[in-house]
């Protein structure tokens, strides 16, 4: 049971990280109009101010909190062996 739970959490974490990456890519594409340099600081800050970046940050922080809670529950012995 514990192994199945660990694999399920691993798959969910991987899916969340892939989706966060897609959100960051969408924010970059939205902030960089055609012809903008990849190293433009103005476009970089514009990408940082999009809602997709905030969603990606919240998703990543939530994932870290979820994984931390799961590890804590495992250390306390609440997960089935």
Distance CA 14, CA 59 (A): 12
Instruction: Specify whether the CB–CB gap between 45 and 27 falls below 8 A.
Output: no
Q: Is 79 helix (H, G, I), strand (E, B) or coil?
A: coil
pLDDT tens per residue, range 15-69: 999 999 999 999 999 988 888 888 888 888 998 999 999 999 999 999 999 999 9
* Sequence-distant (≥ 6) Cβ neighbours of residue 21 within 8 angstroms: 56
Distance CA 29, CA 27 (A): 6
The model scores a pTM over 0.85: no
Q: Is 32 helix (H, G, I), strand (E, B) or coil?
A: coil
């Amino acid at each position: 049971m514990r192994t199945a739970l660990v694999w399920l959490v691993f798959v969910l974490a991987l899916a969340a990280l892939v989706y966060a990456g897609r959100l960051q890519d969408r924010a970059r594409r939205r902030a960089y109009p055609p012809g903008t340099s990849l190293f433009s600081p103005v476009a970089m800050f514009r990408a940082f101010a999009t809602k997709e970046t905030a969603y990606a940050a919240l998703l990543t922080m939530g994932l870290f909190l979820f994984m931390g809670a799961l590890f804590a529950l495992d250390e306390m012995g609440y997960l089935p062996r």
